[in-house]
């Protein structure tokens, strides 16, 4: 038996690992790469094995860097089941459909830009004439008109990674399972899900395998959360006796060389950011992942408002996906921690509903909000500022020093979010002297005059200490650890730390395998 590491090997996104036994091939996650458009597109379109050979997929949680290539896998021949928790199944119905919509929209826009440039170069038509030719009602791209011109000039059309139809076909393969209940995922292979504490429905997976008369046990952390965070239960530390002795633990290391701010400090830090920004007459712009981060922030803002610790300015969730995911949270109160039951449910309150909270659905509502210069808070996707409505909020707010861009989550290399975080914080540290950094996005450059604040404590990923606490505070006995889901500056120091603690550690490169004897 061996394990091959195809994704999130010495990088954070694109989680994908194959457990290959004598009678089953079980894929752990099938995530999407996120980063530079050209590199990500190339990586995402290539599945490094024949999907038809995969017995089943075990999905740790719904985030797109773990689930996002499942529609492609199904389209290319996978015919098994996607085994996950029930909450993850519910969330994926929204996340994968949204991902498909983004793929289709991006492809449509790129084709439109190519045709617009071609017509401007070859026809002498004005920009307005071209726009009228290629758009319906001067707003929506006319895909048929764009396609006709691409065909006429024998130009290769940009194709989406997968379509809405592909996503719907993939969703039919999902099989949601309860925690702490073994389920067969292949001949001689069972899996049991335990709470991971990362996002609602996230799971630590334990695979029990029988091969050629021998038994093996493999653990896969997925992404491990932090203890004492609002809403979520803490990561599991007490595993069933039959699941305790691991031949291999595949473990994330996103923040293996970093210590976050304490969870307990985050409420006060967020309060201060809101009060300072509103005091300047500004807006707090928060790029936030639709699943997990948005709901955690809403919970905290609701609590601040209930206790009258901040002005009760309007709070907008400008993400249709986040709106739908928040409904998933509302449908699963059984997964909340004791604190959420005490602070909200026992008082008859919904943590994710309060008078100042507004969910913007339509594009028109979002555009009106972009132009709103009165003090407010807006949470918008995407969390790394690479696509979606957040780009429009940044375009309108980034050049005004009254406003604050609040960074509350991980930003992958080569993303706009990483550039804003690094250059904005450096500008703040230098006393905001000299020219502001210039941020290029949506075809233009903008001065980063808005204040940039980073609150690591809201991270859904455990830091170095949280990861060590999971290892040392659990009842697991581990023969070997394979570190994944981390950039080398985080992963390699963590590997050295684990080795100094007596663990045997393997840090795979993409495509490397490990034989389990």
pLDDT tens for residues 394-414?
999 999 999 999 999 888 888
For helices 86-122 and 320-331, what crossing angle results, to 10°?
A: 170
pLDDT digits over 143-197, tens only?
Answer: 999 999 999 999 999 999 999 999 999 999 999 999 999 999 999 999 999 999 9
Is the residue at 206 inside a domain? Answer: yes
Domain boundaries, position 239:
2-96+172-258+477-515
> Do 269 and 253 share a structural domain?
no
Is the residue at 470 inside a domain? Answer: no
pLDDT digits over 411-428, tens only?
Answer: 888 889 999 999 999 999
Listed in sequence order, the residues at least 6 apart from 440 whose beta carbon sits closer than 8 Å to its beta carbon are 446
- Categorize the per-residue pLDDT at 40 as very low, low, confident or very high, splitting at 50, 70 and 90: confident
Q: Look up the CATH number of the domain holding residue 11.
A: 3.60.15.10
Is the residue at 469 inside a domain? Answer: no
Q: What are phi and psi of 384, to 5 degrees?
A: -105, 10
Give the bridge partners for 56, in sequence order: 26
> Do 355 and 244 share a structural domain?
no
- Split into its structural domains, the chain has a count of 3
Residue 456 has pLDDT above 90, yes or no: no
pTM value is 0.89
Please report, rounded to a whole number, the percentage of residues in the chain having pLDDT higher than 70. Answer: 100
The number of beta carbons lying within 10 Å of the beta carbon of residue 389 is: 20
- Among 129, 147, 164, the domain boundary falls at 164
> Do 503 and 438 share a structural domain?
no
Pairing of strands 377-380, 284-287: parallel
Residue 139 has pLDDT above 90, yes or no: no
Here the tokens at position 411 are 């930003």
CA neighbor of 388 nearest in space, from 352, 416, 408, 412: 416
Give the bridge partners for 406, in sequence order: 453
Is the residue at 463 inside a domain? Answer: no
| Structural contact between residues 468 and 419, judged by C-beta atoms closer than 8 angstroms | no
Is the residue at 472 inside a domain? Answer: no
Give the bridge partners for 251, in sequence order: 483
Distance CA 315, CA 379 (A): 8
CA neighbor of 206 nearest in space, from 81, 26, 8: 26
On average, the pLDDT of the chain sits at: 94
Pairing of strands 357-359, 315-317: parallel
Here the tokens at position 272 are 């201060």
pLDDT digits over 351-367, tens only?
Answer: 999 999 999 988 899 99
Any idea what the Cα angle at residue 323 is, between residues 232 and 228, rounded to 5°? 15
Is the residue at 465 inside a domain? Answer: no
pLDDT digits over 50-65, tens only?
Answer: 999 999 999 999 999 9
> Do 107 and 55 share a structural domain?
no
- What CA–CA distances, in Å, run from 379 to 269, 299, 396? 17, 13, 14
Distance CA 149, CA 155 (A): 8
pLDDT digits over 231-283, tens only?
Answer: 999 999 999 999 999 999 999 999 999 999 888 889 999 999 999 999 999 99
Listed in sequence order, the residues at least 6 apart from 71 whose beta carbon sits closer than 8 Å to its beta carbon are 96, 99, 100, 162, 166, 167, 169, 170
Distance CA 191, CA 177 (A): 10
Task: Respond yes or no on whether the N-terminal peptide bond of residue 382 is cis (omega within 30° of 0).
Answer: yes
> Do 276 and 180 share a structural domain?
no
Q: Look up the CATH number of the domain holding residue 438.
A: 3.40.50.10890
As a whole number of Å, the CA-based R_g of the chain is: 24
Listed in sequence order, the residues at least 6 apart from 365 whose beta carbon sits closer than 8 Å to its beta carbon are 318
Listed in sequence order, the residues at least 6 apart from 327 whose beta carbon sits closer than 8 Å to its beta carbon are none
For helices 390-397 and 416-429, what crossing angle results, to 10°?
A: 30
In terms of phi and psi (left: phi > 0; alpha: psi -120 to 50; beta: otherwise), the region of 431 is left
The alpha-helical segments, DSSP class H, found in 193-290 are: 263-279
- What CA–CA distances, in Å, run from 447 to 64, 276, 281, 444? 31, 21, 19, 10
Is the residue at 467 inside a domain? Answer: no
pLDDT digits over 298-332, tens only?
Answer: 999 999 999 999 999 999 999 999 999 998 998 99
> Do 433 and 389 share a structural domain?
yes
Residue 383 has pLDDT above 80, yes or no: no
Is the residue at 158 inside a domain? Answer: yes
- Categorize the per-residue pLDDT at 125 as very low, low, confident or very high, splitting at 50, 70 and 90: confident
- What CA–CA distances, in Å, run from 33 to 157, 303, 449, 461? 22, 35, 30, 18
> Do 356 and 222 share a structural domain?
no
Residue 127 has pLDDT above 90, yes or no: no
Distance CA 31, CA 64 (A): 6
> Do 367 and 356 share a structural domain?
yes
Order of strands, sheet of 284-287, starting from the edge strand that comes earlier in the sequence: 357-359, 315-317, 377-380, 284-287, 404-407, 451-454
Residue 39 has pLDDT above 90, yes or no: no
Per-residue confidence (pLDDT) for residue 199, from 0 to 100: 95
Here the tokens at position 262 are 């304490």
Per-residue confidence (pLDDT) for residue 517, from 0 to 100: 86
> Do 301 and 285 share a structural domain?
yes
Per-residue confidence (pLDDT) for residue 411, from 0 to 100: 86
Residue 201 is classified by DSSP as T
- Categorize the per-residue pLDDT at 20 as very low, low, confident or very high, splitting at 50, 70 and 90: very high
Distance CA 349, CA 326 (A): 15
> Do 238 and 138 share a structural domain?
no
Distance CA 393, CA 20 (A): 46
Per-residue confidence (pLDDT) for residue 36, from 0 to 100: 75
| Structural contact between residues 195 and 236, judged by C-beta atoms closer than 8 angstroms | yes
- Categorize the per-residue pLDDT at 381 as very low, low, confident or very high, splitting at 50, 70 and 90: confident
Distance CA 428, CA 432 (A): 5
> Do 441 and 426 share a structural domain?
yes
> Do 351 and 310 share a structural domain?
yes
- Among 128, 148, 164, the domain boundary falls at 164
The number of beta carbons lying within 10 Å of the beta carbon of residue 451 is: 22
pLDDT digits over 84-122, tens only?
Answer: 999 999 999 999 999 999 889 889 988 999 999 999 998
CA neighbor of 224 nearest in space, from 190, 257, 195: 195
| Structural contact between residues 99 and 32, judged by C-beta atoms closer than 8 angstroms | yes
For helices 263-279 and 293-306, what crossing angle results, to 10°?
A: 70
pLDDT digits over 488-515, tens only?
Answer: 999 999 999 999 999 999 999 999 999 9
């Amino acid at each position: 038996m061996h394990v091959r590491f195809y994704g999130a090997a010495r990088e954070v996104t694109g989680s994908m690992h194959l457990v290959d036994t004598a009678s089953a091939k079980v894929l752990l996650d099938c995530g999407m790469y996120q980063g530079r458009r050209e590199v990500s597109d190339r990586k995402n379109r290539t599945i490094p094995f024949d999907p038809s050979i995969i017995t089943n997929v075990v999905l740790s949680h719904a985030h797109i860097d773990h689930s996002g290539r499942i529609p492609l896998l199904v389209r290319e021949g996978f015919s098994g089941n996607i085994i996950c928790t029930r909450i993850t199944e519910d969330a994926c119905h929204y996340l994968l459909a949204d991902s498909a919509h983004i793929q289709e929209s991006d492809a449509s826009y790129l084709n439109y830009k190519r045709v617009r440039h071609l017509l401007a170069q070859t026809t002498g038509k004005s920009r307005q004439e071209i726009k009228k030719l290629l758009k319906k009602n001067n707003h929506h791209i006319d895909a048929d008109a764009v396609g006709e011109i691409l065909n006429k000039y024998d130009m290769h059309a940009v194709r989406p990674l997968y379509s809405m139809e592909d996503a719907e076909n993939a969703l039919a393969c999902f099989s949601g399972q309860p925690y702490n209940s073994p389920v067969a995922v292949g001949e001689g292979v069972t899996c049991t899900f335990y709470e991971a504490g990362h996002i609602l429905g996230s799971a630590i997976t334990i695979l029990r395998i029988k091969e050629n008369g021998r038994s093996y046990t493999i653990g896969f952390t997925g992404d491990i959360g932090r203890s004492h965070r609002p809403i979520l239960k803490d990561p599991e530390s007490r595993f069933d006796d039959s699941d305790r002795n691991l031949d291999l633990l595949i473990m994330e290391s996103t923040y293996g060389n970093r210590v976050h701010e304490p969870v307990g400090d985050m409420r006060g830090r967020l309060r201060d950011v809101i009060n300072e920004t509103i005091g300047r007459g500004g807006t707090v712009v928060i790029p936030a992942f639709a699943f997990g981060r948005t709901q955690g922030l809403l919970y905290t803002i609701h609590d601040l408002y209930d206790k009258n610790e901040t002005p009760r300015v309007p709070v907008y969730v400008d993400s249709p996906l986040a709106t739908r995911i928040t409904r998933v949270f509302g449908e699963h109160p059984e997964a909340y921690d004791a604190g959420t039951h005490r602070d909200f449910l026992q008082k008859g309150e919904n943590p994710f509903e309060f008078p100042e909270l507004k969910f913007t659905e339509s594009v028109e509502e979002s555009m009106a909000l972009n132009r709103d210069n009165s003090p407010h808070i807006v949470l918008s996707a995407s969390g790394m500022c690479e696509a979606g409505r957040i780009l429009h909020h940044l375009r309108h707010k980034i050049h005004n020093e009254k406003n604050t861009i609040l960074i509350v989550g991980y930003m992958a290399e080569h993303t706009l979010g990483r550039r804003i975080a690094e250059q904005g914080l450096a500008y703040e540290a230098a006393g905001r002297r000299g020219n502001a950094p210039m941020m290029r996005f949506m075809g233009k450059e903008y001065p980063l005059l808005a204040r940039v604040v980073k609150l690591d404590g809201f991270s859904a990923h455990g830091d170095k200490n949280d990861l060590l606490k999971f290892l040392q505070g659990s009842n697991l006995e581990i023969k070997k650890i394979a570190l994944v889901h981390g950039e080398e500056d985080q992963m390699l120091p963590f590997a050295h730390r684990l080795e100094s603690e007596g663990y045997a550690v393997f840090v795979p490169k993409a495509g490397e395998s490990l034989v389990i004897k």
